[in-house]
Amino acid sequence: MEESASEVAKRELLNWPGVTVHDHRFGGLEFRVNGREMGHIHGDELADLPLPKDISRKLIAQGKVSPHHFIPQSGWISYYINGTADIPGLIELFRMQYERMTSYGKKSKSAPATTPVSSAQTP
């Protein structure tokens, strides 16, 4: 049986130093690194990540993600998971977030290499 997007993400992200998983207050799984939220997944269909607005705007302009489904001006982004082909993009977004959140004031620690974020995103 094929693993779901949330199962794959959980298995992958929990291999990264400092990452933990928790129930998210609005449903789904919340991933944290060193106690801070990296993002969360609602079921196997949608991931939300808080990013600096400049990074969010760039990813949205490239068509890789959508503005957050509820608070679009916040800097948060939504990544819609339409099937297994979108899982590598999901992992890549969390990898990018992980590296950003663990590299403050020092050279970036790299999480395991993953496939670049998928360019096909539709709400």
> How would residue 73 be classed by pLDDT, with cut points 50, 70 and 90?
confident
> pTM for this structure?
0.81
Tokens of 36: 């801070």
pLDDT band at 117 (very low <50, low <70, confident <90, very high): low
Assign 3-class secondary structure to the chain.
Answer: CCCCHHHHHHHHHCCCCCEEEEECCCCCEEEEECCEEEEEEECCCEEEEECCHHHHHHHHHCCCCEECCCCCCCCEEEEECCCHHHHHHHHHHHHHHHHHHHCCCCCCCCCCCCCCCCCCCCC
The mean per-residue pLDDT over the stretch 27-43 comes to 92
Is a pLDDT exceeding 80 seen at residue 106? no
pLDDT band at residue 107, thresholds of 50, 70 and 90? Answer: low
Mean pLDDT (whole number) for 16-27: 88
The CATH number, out of the four listed (2.50.20.10, 3.90.1150.30, 3.30.1370.100, 3.30.70.250), of the domain defined by the range 5-102: 3.90.1150.30
Helical pair 87-102 and 5-13, crossing angle rounded to 10 deg: 30
